[in-house]
Amino acid sequence: MSPLHNLPEETLILLLKKKNQQAFSYLYDNYAGALYGVVCRIVTSTEHAEEVIQDVFVKIWKHVDLFDADKGRLYTWMINIARNTALDYRKSKGVMNEMKNQPLSNIVNTQEEQDQSQAERSARADFIGFRNILDKLKPECRILIDMAYYKGYTQQEIADELNVPLGTVKTRTKAAFLQLQQLLKEYR
Amino acid sequence: MDIEAYISSGIIESYVLGLASEEEISILNCIRKNNTAVEQAIVEAEKALEGLADIQAMEMPLVLKQDIWNRLEAENLVTKEDKTADGQVEQALTDGKIIQSPVQTTDAEKEPKRIVQRQFYGWAIAASVLLALSIGTNVFFYQQVKEGKKLLTETNAILDTQKASLTVLQDKWSLVKNPAVKTIPLKGVENKPDLHALVFWDQSSKAVYLSLEQMPAAPKGKQYQLWAMVDGQPVNAGVFPLKTKEQMASKMLDIPKAQAFAITLEDEGGKPVPTLTELCVMGGI
């Protein structure tokens, strides 16, 4: 399932450091879809996502020499580049503020797609094959991952937004991961 | 510190999700170095998000691949030649381990095949190009060898001719430089002024050599015959051998005494008396 099973991470790093077309092709064919999926969930429009994913690849390509295998996994590193690039883009476009200004009820109360504004929902409809495995998580866990991972909220912001203590945010985060891991097992 | 409590606190997941505060992060980085259980928990959490990314992968517009590559090229971020991959990478790539894609799109089943085919075509094209190059090179070198051989044959032929000419000249030269040998030039008669021959006459051994310096090859069935004029009478000095080249000095019959030499064109084999109408050249001593 994970591309890292296909090519050992150290081999992939060696390959990427060669900076040739073969390396690019491998990187693209095996990771583009996953990284694009992350970007799309953050910037929410195909036009913007296509712009961002290009930046993501350029960053990965440029900075792979700086990647330190002792400090983490390559795939995670790439996902984080995709996520941070997309979040920065969101911030620069002011989408973030718009989202944060949504009334709380809009985030918490509706059972379906409750974390999305009307505009975002229609924008997401642009994407073909948009699958949201997170829908299968308990709503409180799903909201937490969505806010933290895809919208870039801080712990404090989440606590304020959901009106819960910081400790609860951590407990829910733990619970969210346990559910997610369980879900992934079922998928495999 | 109670590691169990730390792991179950949710700090690790917060960190992986990007929620942890700077203080939490620095503590976590310190612990992970010395504690494999924490390190393992971090990896597990990261793998969960990787799995999430795999499952939620989305198909990208096809043109983007080329667009991005063009951009990397434009920014001078790529290495041109593709053949530098070292053994390890090559091995991994050819092992076929990489055929599986994490992209979980609707046509996820088709994807691996397409990659294999693309790689196969890539190799096939590379192999074809190499083969074509190899054939081209072979043809080129074959032509070169052929040319070389032809040239060598030609040169050898020229060398043989030169050698033969040299032998002829050396033979004549040995006659000319011999003080006992008299050289008698025979000049063309009235109606054949261009003809010219040389008689070398060894005064001590009485041997006679004839060289047809400037005489047309004898017509078929005819042969040049040398005569020595002894006291007004023609004496047969032999026929010029048919197979001898004109310029070669050929040994004729010994002549002890003569006042002049002459050549007539006679029927093959020669005649006992010269046909005077066929007189070609003559010269007095």
Distance CA B207, CA B201 (A): 6
Of A3, A4, A28, the CB nearest to B65: A28
- Contact residues, chain A, for B9 at CB < 8 Å: 170, 174
- Residue B118 DSSP label: H
DSSP element (H, E) containing B249? strand B249-251
Domain boundaries, chain A: 3-92, 101-187
Residues B163 and B196 in one domain: no
Of A11, A24, A50, the CB nearest to B89: A11
For the residues B234-257, what does the mean pLDDT come to?
Answer: 84
Whether residue B51 lies inside any domain: the answer is yes
Q: What is the pLDDT of residues A25-72, one digit of tens each?
A: 888 988 999 999 999 999 978 888 999 999 999 999 999 888 888 778
Quick check: A32 contacting B, CB < 8 Å?
yes
Distance CA A32, CA B103 (A): 8
Which CATH number among 1.20.870.10, 1.10.1740.10, 3.40.80.10, 3.40.50.720 corresponds to the domain A3-92?
A: 1.10.1740.10
* pLDDT grade for A133, boundaries at 50, 70 and 90: confident
Whether residue B131 lies inside any domain: the answer is yes
Contact at CB, A22 and B93, closer than 8 angstroms: yes
A152-161, B75-84, B244-253: which is most confident: A152-161
For the residues B3-9, what does the mean pLDDT come to?
Answer: 90
**Structural domain boundaries enclosing B170:** 82-177
Which token pair is A61?
Answer: 């390509």
Residues B44 and B15 in one domain: yes
Distance CA B41, CA A12 (A): 24
Query: How many CB atoms are located within 10 Å of the residue B71 CB?
Result: 15
pLDDT of residue A174: 93
pLDDT at residue A151 greater than cutoff 60: yes
Q: What is the pLDDT of residues A73-103, one digit of tens each?
A: 899 999 999 999 999 998 887 654 555 554 4
Among candidate residues A181, A65, A166, the one with its CA nearest the CA of residue B9: A166
Between the alpha carbon of residue B144 and those of residues A135, B147, B148, B152, the distances in Å are 74, 5, 6, 12
Sign of CA dihedral B33, B37, B38, B42: positive
Contact A146, B46 (CB under 8 A): no
For the residues B30-56, what does the mean pLDDT come to?
Answer: 91
Contact A49, A43 (CB under 8 A): yes
Residues B47 and B102 in one domain: no
Residues B134 and B210 in one domain: no
Whether residue B114 lies inside any domain: the answer is yes
Say which amino acid occupies B53.
A
* pLDDT grade for B243, boundaries at 50, 70 and 90: confident
- Contact residues, chain A, for B98 at CB < 8 Å: 6-7, 26, 30
pLDDT of residue A3: 42
Distance CA B210, CA B197 (A): 7
With a pLDDT cut of 90, the percent of chain A lying above it is 39
Distance CA A184, CA A178 (A): 10
Q: Which residues contact B49 (CB under 8 A, 6 or more apart)?
A: A76, A79, A149, B16, B17
pLDDT of residue B90: 56
Q: How far is B129 from chain A (nearest CA, A)?
A: 18
pLDDT at residue B214 greater than cutoff 60: yes
For the residues B45-64, what does the mean pLDDT come to?
Answer: 90
With a pLDDT cut of 70, the percent of chain B lying above it is 85
Looking at the structure of chain B, the number of domains it has is 3
pLDDT of residue A57: 94
Asked if domains A3-92 and A101-187 share a fold, the reply is: no
**Which chain B residue has its CA at the smallest distance from A40's CA?**
B58
3-class SS at B251?
strand
Contact at CB, B14 and A169, closer than 8 angstroms: yes
- Residue B84 DSSP label: T
Q: How far is B60 from chain A (nearest CA, A)?
A: 6
pLDDT at residue A115 greater than cutoff 50: no
Residue predicted with more confidence, B96 or A143: A143
Whether residue B22 lies inside any domain: the answer is yes
Residues B206 and B135 in one domain: no
- Contact residues, chain B, for A172 at CB < 8 Å: 10
pLDDT of residue B109: 45
Whether residue B96 lies inside any domain: the answer is yes
Contact at CB, B72 and A11, closer than 8 angstroms: no
With a pLDDT cut of 70, the percent of chain A lying above it is 76
Q: How far is B153 from chain A (nearest CA, A)?
A: 52
Distance CA A53, CA A178 (A): 29
Contact at CB, B17 and A149, closer than 8 angstroms: yes
Whether residue B26 lies inside any domain: the answer is yes
- Contact residues, chain B, for A133 at CB < 8 Å: 52, 55-56
CATH class of the domain whose range is A101-187: mainly alpha
